[in-house]
Structure 1
Amino acid sequence: MNIGIIGTGGIATSAHIPQYIAAGANVVAVMNRTRERGEAAARQFGIERVYGTVEAMLENETLDAVSVCTPNALHKEQVIAALAAGCHVLCEKPPAISAREAMEMLEAAKAANRTLHYGFHYRHRSDTQLLKRMIEAGELGHLYAATALALRRRGIPGWGVFTDKELQGGGALLDHGVHMLDLALYLMGYPKPVDVIGHIGQYLGTRPGVGLMGTWDPDTFSVEDTARAMVKFENGASLLFDGSFMANVGPRDTMRVELRGTEGGATLFPLHVHTEAYGALFDQTPAHLEHVDPYAVQIQTFLDACQREPEFEQGEQAVILHTITDRIYGEA
């Protein structure tokens, strides 16, 4: 397969490009609006052609698929353009910045009859997949409650455009919060939300402070540093979400999903399963799990999907995800 890369930032050069190459795909072209960065990535990986616009790359290359690795606000336009050019698309998270955009991307994928995947790599961890198999086998029963935590003590990224609302669409929620929100929804079977109570705020990001992920400029900090919500679903389940770029908490970084079911409960990460049997309570942990690179599995899963009938499930899930994020932001 011939692959094009849209955006040559850190996620492209650390995950997408090397994993495509490792999987045997041909990365034939990269695009970056800053020519020097595109050329640097091309030199690093021996890629022949560099473009300054998406349109030029799609017009001059014969591509089977593309990865979109650009700031969030650019995803919709670039994904739709690639789909219209006949490419399958793997777009980095978050899918979009609104449910309306996610729906437009889904409709474009269906119109082009091309697979659309999103870069939620936590789904592809071995512990996540083990828990997913247990849930599908009925080990936890009906999942009626979940908690998704994405908390950093002082973790505003000091690089890129993560603090720019115009390009990112949001901060703690759309950056790393969507990882755990998506993961909880994925494990729950992506139930339909019927009510969302949400709150966002700027509490620490607009003033100077210690940065554990680099230095940010508080004067240009325009996204939320805190997002919290409760979601009620059509099937009677509920979910609590708590996300922050920077919070006065103990751990430096907490990424965790907790699930409660009628037959058992579970926590990721690490994986613990809590059950009752034979008149006793059990806490279970796997004695061994094969280590996998979730980015490698994500890329291979996408490449495999491109060889089958087009898949739209992740596009449909993205609409549900952003229906929730819209409500948290108070935009719906």
Structure 2
Amino acid sequence: MLNEKLKVGIIGAGGIARGIHIPNYLKHSDRVEIIAVADVIEKNAKECGEKFSIPQVFTDYKEMLAQCSLDAVSVCTPNKFHAEASIHVLEAGCHVLCEKPPAMNVEEAKAMEEAAERNGKILTYGFHFRYAPEVQALKRFTEGGALGNIYAATIKAVRRRGIPGWGVFTNKELQGGGPLIDIGVHMLDTALYLMDYPEPETVFGATYQEIGTRKGVGTMGEWDWKNFSIEDMALGMIRFKNGATVMLETAFAANVEKNDLMNVSLMGNEGGADVFPLKIYQEKYDTLIDISPAYLPKKGYHELEVETFVNACLANESPLSTPAQGVVIQKIINGLYESARTGEAVKLDE
């Protein structure tokens, strides 16, 4: 237990830092102090520092780590820099809350896991949907056996025309991919979390680039369609070593009815469930029944994510998302992209 406030640094002063991480750290000002922020774009770093009264501003996070006495750091950079920044922070003796996805490839995710173990520090990822009250409630049901053996799941993370018109979301070099690695990964993590993170065995994937490379109507701003280098849709099937399967559908742009659909459906031999909104399906006393919660708490997902990280750092507890799980999900993501590239199923290594 730290006797003083948790001293926090921020790497990357973009939208996720300003809109999510920093405001939620500030809700714990009695036990958290944001000491410094670093961004390679000096203007962004200075603006962020001024807006949130962060005393020290840097353009090089390595200088920040060398000059500031920090306990924990949020890594809010584009995906390409997650691994390098997180490993440097861990080697500097700080805990890490890294935005999702873990990294660009499995090797980086493993290196991050090893750095956390080597230095005895917390490394957790920004899979904030785990903290949704629907997910936490269903987790209690699954742990209690309400669904029995969960043998199948369906994942949807689909937008009608939700290609981000800001940031680097359409830049494959910096992001590693499109909707699969950005929003699909959230629902994939949610499903795996509810299924106790089974070990994947084989994946088969397909990606499409049919809408994003031409000008069109955008519900999330005007995207850079001339330099659109990611997929706009990804489909996949994952088979696990325990025999379970997951079907995945994710898109930034698809010709569907709803503007934004995020959901996980689970099927077990004693019951099934949809997560958003939460409804459980069972057979009891020769009757098919549906169960819906009458009340769920309303605390924000991101707020709970940061709160849990702070609690873990101060009490030296295990976080909800672990480095080992980060490696598993990175295997699946990269396996799906490789399968889409080759047109063949990919058997994942041990």
User: Normalised by the size of structure 1, how large is the TM-score?
Assistant: 0.98
2:50 aligned with 1:43, yes or no?
A: yes
Q: Which residue of 1 aligns with 2:206?
A: 199
Kept in 1: contact 2:187–2:262 (CA 8 A): yes
Deviation at 1:113, TM superposition (A): 0.7
Deviation at 1:207, TM superposition (A): 1.0
Deviation at 1:273, TM superposition (A): 0.5
2:290 aligned with 1:283, yes or no?
A: yes
Out of 209, 222, 227, the residue aligned to residue 215 of structure 1 is: 222
User: Normalised by the size of structure 2, how large is the TM-score?
Assistant: 0.93
2:131 is aligned with what amino acid? H
Deviation at 1:212, TM superposition (A): 0.8
Deviations 1:234-271 (A, max 9, x none): 11110000001100000000000000011110001110
Deviations 1:152-193 (A, max 9, x none): 000100000000111111111111110111111111110001
Deviations 1:22-52 (A, max 9, x none): 1231001001111111111111111111000
* Structure 2 CA distance for aligned equivalents of residues 308 and 94 of structure 1: 26
Out of 8, 17, 32, the residue aligned to residue 12 of structure 1 is: 17
**1:197 aligns to what SS in structure 2?**
strand
Deviation at 1:311, TM superposition (A): 4.1
Kept in 2: contact 1:67–1:89 (CA 8 A): yes
* Structure 1 CA distance for aligned equivalents of residues 135 and 256 of structure 2: 25
2:254 aligned with 1:247, yes or no?
A: yes
Kept in 1: contact 2:311–2:317 (CA 8 A): no
* Structure 1 CA distance for aligned equivalents of residues 50 and 250 of structure 2: 38
Deviation at 1:308, TM superposition (A): 4.0
Q: Which residue of 1 aligns with 2:270?
A: 263
Q: Which residue of 2 aligns with 1:149?
A: 156
Deviation at 1:314, TM superposition (A): 1.2
* Structure 1 CA distance for aligned equivalents of residues 17 and 176 of structure 2: 20
Deviation at 1:310, TM superposition (A): 6.4
* Structure 1 CA distance for aligned equivalents of residues 266 and 72 of structure 2: 35
Out of 1, 7, 14, the residue aligned to residue 2 of structure 1 is: 7
2:241 is aligned with what amino acid? E
**1:182 aligns to what SS in structure 2?**
helix
**1:316 aligns to what SS in structure 2?**
helix
1:141 is aligned with what amino acid? G
Deviation at 1:307, TM superposition (A): 3.0
Q: Which residue of 1 aligns with 2:240?
A: 233
Q: Which residue of 1 aligns with 2:196?
A: 189
2:136 aligned with 1:158, yes or no?
A: no
Kept in 1: contact 2:90–2:119 (CA 8 A): yes
* Structure 1 CA distance for aligned equivalents of residues 202 and 131 of structure 2: 29
* Structure 2 CA distance for aligned equivalents of residues 75 and 122 of structure 1: 20
**2:322 aligns to what SS in structure 1?**
helix
* Structure 2 CA distance for aligned equivalents of residues 227 and 186 of structure 1: 21
Kept in 2: contact 1:116–1:311 (CA 8 A): no
1:248 is aligned with what amino acid? N
Out of 322, 328, 332, the residue aligned to residue 314 of structure 1 is: 322
Q: Which residue of 2 aligns with 1:111?
A: 118
Kept in 2: contact 1:114–1:310 (CA 8 A): no
Out of 55, 62, 65, the residue aligned to residue 69 of structure 2 is: 62
RMSD, aligned α-carbons? 1.2
Deviation at 1:14, TM superposition (A): 1.1
1:206 is aligned with what amino acid? T
* Structure 1 CA distance for aligned equivalents of residues 207 and 317 of structure 2: 36
* Structure 2 CA distance for aligned equivalents of residues 316 and 281 of structure 1: 38
Deviations 1:250-304 (A, max 9, x none): 0000000000011110001110100110110111111111111111111111111
Deviation at 1:98, TM superposition (A): 1.1
Deviation at 1:88, TM superposition (A): 0.2
Q: Which residue of 2 aligns with 1:170?
A: 177
1:62 is aligned with what amino acid? S
* Structure 1 CA distance for aligned equivalents of residues 200 and 61 of structure 2: 35
Deviations 1:48-89 (A, max 9, x none): 110001111000000000000010001000000000000000
2:100 aligned with 1:85, yes or no?
A: no
Out of 318, 326, 329, the residue aligned to residue 334 of structure 2 is: 326
Q: Structure 2 unaligned runs (5+)?
A: 1-5, 340-345
Kept in 2: contact 1:113–1:310 (CA 8 A): no
Deviations 1:303-322 (A, max 9, x none): 11113446486110011101
**2:9 aligns to what SS in structure 1?**
strand
* Structure 1 CA distance for aligned equivalents of residues 335 and 19 of structure 2: 33
* Structure 1 CA distance for aligned equivalents of residues 237 and 148 of structure 2: 22
2:10 is aligned with what amino acid? I
Q: Structure 1 unaligned runs (5+)?
A: none
